[in-house]
Chain A
Amino acid sequence: MSLAHNRAAIPAQAGIGLRHPHLPAFLAAPQPAAWLEIHSENYLAPGGPRLAALERLRGDYPLSCHGVGLSLGSAEGLDEAHLARLRALYDRLEPELVSEHLAWSTAPDGTFLADLLPLPYTDEALDTVAAHVGRAQEALGRRLLVENPSTYLRFREADWDEAGFLNELVRRTGCGLLLDVNNLYVSAANGGDDPLAALERLPLAAVGEIHIAGHARVATPVGELLIDDHGSTVAEPVWTLLRTVLARTGPRPVLVEWDTNIPELPVLLAEAARAEFHLREVDDAVG
């Protein structure tokens, strides 16, 4: 199988997730974002002004397409019609990076649950996800980056921990890792683990992109849970973890995501500027 490796084209700089409220600002003037990422499923409609706006911007910014609906972990197979829609979009936009999630969102009866749901880290799940990553890379004609999920629960039955599962997935499929540092922090906190220990065991050589975002701390009658709501500035411990990650991986494209309570564009750009600062720290250390 021959896969297009486009990794070089997204710069190892800070980008932002492009959201609809910010489209007018981007169309009106160039904005200081080194690159943009979209949620692929937001642009699958046949036409209209949003797709037209993205096609205009695409010429001015490197682009990453982040799928949120392929459901790599579905027991009953991939949705081939959805794969074909994604392929058509990617052929039209020619993104430098394409990514999906280690999760499932389509149930066996075809219901789409609109959330990134957790998998048990069993051999059966690994076989399923590896087959689907292979099929998706073939159908899309591109290498996938697979993102580590934020999780709120774990299953009793497990043949692997998450890091081991991802290592094996990378080994079997040749996919890359989209390392979401906020997810790493949130999942470790919710599972009572040390994120640094998990980090040590992840396939860091395969990291093609890094995500950061804000999370919420929610008190419940049974203890605190961290919720990955992408609704605030990046938390300080996540910035610290990002610096640790960058020290291990070297400079990589870093994306700031913000999806709920979306702020004015300058607030988002300020977060990207801080990520850029931490990227330069690594550059200086390496150079």
Chain B
Amino acid sequence: MRLAELQTRMRQALLTGGSPDLELLALLADPPPQRERRLAVYRNNVRHALLSVLDAAFPVVRALIGADCFSATALVLIAQRPPRAPALYAYGGELPGFLADFAPLAELPWLADVARLEWARNAALFAADREPLGPDRLATVPAAGLPGLRLGLHPSAWLHESPWPIHAIWDAHQPGGGALEAVDLARAEIVLVWRHGGAVRQRSPGPGESALLAAFALECPLAEAVEMAAARDPDFDLSAVLARLLADGVLTYPN
């Protein structure tokens, strides 16, 4: 058998269950049942390696549905959408979308958004390095230039307006966090994730700040961004919000 066909057959045998590939088994030097057992070592290795990656990236989703249910769900994802590149830090980004369409977990409609949040935290850890804009840098901009100033978000930043309280659900799984039972599942929540000083940080901004950040992400001029923020929140306090964002290292100049 040509090497390419052997590798295609092994890929199938290692990733999916189903009936044994007798043509593949016939290539192995050992007799049955040893050869099946030996092939199974590789199947276990592959599954264990990929499950470990997903376990590490989605600890809260795993806690919410239980380790066994998480493993069973993850194995379906692994069989259907295995990694496409030899860089496992980037494997797992498809889990949120997969959960959203996964019928067995349809009664937990907020689960996919919790997974999105966990994936954003993972991505923030590995995002490109970029010097954030400090409060002192902005002070050098002449007042006349402020309305036209374009700001951007740090490469690690992720902003999401969820119909579910995903920040509170996540927080309830952290040491010293709130109680899961106390979370009002009917409440919508906005989450901001970013990396600052080598650590991934997360908080829940208000609607005005969210509109401002969304405008920054589109590289709108400051005056336009403030208008959008004020439209969402009539009490929007630009100087307080901007001071906090700058102190927290969320902002940069756009590319």
Bitwise, B70-93 to A at CB < 8 A (1) or not (0) is 000000000000111111111000
In the bound complex, do residue B128 and residue A47 qualify as a contact, i.e. CB atoms below 8 Å apart? yes
A220 touches B37 (CB 8 A): yes
Asked whether, in the complex, the Cβ of A107 is within 8 Å of the Cβ of B83, the reply is: no
CB atoms of A52 and B2 under 8 A apart: no
Bound CA span A42–B91, Å: 12
Whether, in the assembled complex, B139 has its beta carbon less than 8 Å from a beta carbon of chain A, the answer is no
Identity of the chain B residue whose Cβ is nearest the Cβ of A191 in the assembled complex: B29
Mark interface residues in B146-178 (1 if CB within 8 Å of A CB, else 0). 000000000100000000000000000000000
| Residue from the list B27, B38, B86 in contact with A82, Cβ < 8 A | B86
Answer whether residue A206 sits at the interface, using C-beta atoms and an 8 A cutoff.
no
**Contact partner, B37, options A85, A111, A221, Cβ 8 Å:** A221
Tell whether B21 is near chain A: CB-to-CB under 8 Å: no
Q: Does B46 contact A (CB under 8 A)?
A: yes
Please, how many angstroms separate the alpha-carbon atoms of A125 and B11 in the complex?
17
Q: Which of chain A's residues has its CB closest to B125's CB?
A: A48
B87 cross-chain contacts in A, Cβ below 8 A: 41, 44-45, 69, 82, 85
Contact between chains at B84 and A110 (CB < 8 Å)? yes
Q: Which of A185-214 contact B (CB under 8 A)?
A: 190
User: In the complex, are the beta carbons of B39 and A153 less than 8 A apart?
Assistant: yes
| A117 in contact (CB, < 8 A) | yes
Find chain A residues with CB under 8 A from B1 CB.
157
Contact across chains for B126 and A46 when beta carbons are under 8 A apart: yes
Cβ contacts under 8 Å, B217 to chain A: none
Give how many A residues have a beta carbon under 8 Å from the other chain's beta carbons.
56
A109 contacts across to B, CB distance below 8 A: 8, 11
B85 — which chain A residues lie within 8 A by C-beta? 79, 81-82, 112
Q: Which of A49, A69, A76, A82 contacts B4 (CB 8 A)?
A: A76
Q: How far is the CB of B199 from chain A (nearest CB, A)?
A: 8
Which chain A residues (80-110) contact chain B, with CB distance < 8 Å? 81-82, 85, 104-110
B127 touches A46 (CB 8 A): yes
Shortest CB–CB separation between residue B53 and chain A, in angstroms?
8
Report yes or no: A45 in contact with B126, Cβ–Cβ below 8 A. yes
B41 in complex: contacting residue of A105, A111, A225, CB < 8 Å: A225
Interface size class of B (residues with CB under 8 A): 35 or more
The answer to whether B218 has its CB under 8 Å from any CB of chain A is no
- Within 8 Å CB of B4, what residues of A? 75-76, 108
Docked complex Cα distance between A30 and B37 (Å): 45
> Which label, helix, strand, loop or mixed, suits the secondary structure of the B interface?
helix
Residue A124 interfacial (CB < 8 Å): yes
Contact residues of B between 1 and 15, Cβ < 8 Å to A:
1-4, 6-8, 10-11, 14-15
Interface string of B42-65 (1 = CB under 8 A from A): 100110011001000000000000
Query: If the complex has contacts A109-B8, A117-B42, A124-B2, are A48 and B195 also in contact, measured as CB distance less than 8 A?
Result: yes
A70 interface hit (Cβ, 8 Å) = yes
**B residues less than 8 Å from A114 (CB atoms):** 46, 49-50, 53, 83, 88
Identify which of residues 15-54 in chain A touch chain B, using a CB-to-CB cut-off of 8 Å: 41-42, 44-52
B7 touches A42 (CB 8 A): no
Residues on B with C-beta less than 8 A from A223 are 34
- Please, which residue of chain A has its CB at the minimum distance from the CB of B3? A75
Residue of B whose beta carbon sits closest to that of A67: B86
Interface: B129 (CB within 8 A): yes
Determine the residue in chain B with the shortest Cβ distance to A128. B3
Contacting residue for A48 out of B49, B84, B126, CB 8 A: B126
A157 to B199 Cα, complex, angstroms: 52
Report which of B3, B27, B33 forms a contact with A125, defined as CB distance below 8 A: B3
State whether A115 touches B45 (Cβ < 8 A). yes
Residues of B within 8 A of A50 (CB): 125
Contacting pair A155 B27 (CB below 8 A)? yes
B198 at the interface (CB under 8 A from A): yes
Contact B129 A111 (CB under 8 A): no
A112 and B129 within 8 A (CB): no
State in angstroms the CA–CA spacing of A14 and B4 once bound together: 39
- Interface 1/0s, chain A 139-163, versus B by CB < 8 A? 0000000000000111111000000
**Chain A residues within 8 Å of B83, by CB:** 111-112, 114
Counting from the closest, the 10 A-B pairs by CB-CB distance are A69-B86, A45-B126, A49-B198, A47-B129, A107-B11, A75-B4, A153-B38, A46-B128, A75-B3, A114-B49
Can you identify 16 A-B contacts, CB atoms within 8 angstroms?
A: A47-B130, A48-B127, A48-B195, A49-B195, A73-B3, A75-B6, A76-B4, A82-B87, A111-B83, A112-B85, A113-B15, A114-B46, A115-B49, A153-B38, A154-B29, A190-B38
Question: Could you tell me which B residues sit within 8 Å of A by CB distance?
Answer: 1-4, 6-8, 10-11, 14-15, 26-30, 33-35, 37-39, 41-42, 45-46, 49-50, 53, 82-90, 125-130, 155, 195, 198-199
A residues bordering B, Cβ < 8 Å? 41-42, 44-52, 68-71, 73-76, 79, 81-82, 85, 104-115, 117-120, 122, 124-125, 128, 152-157, 190, 220-223, 225, 227
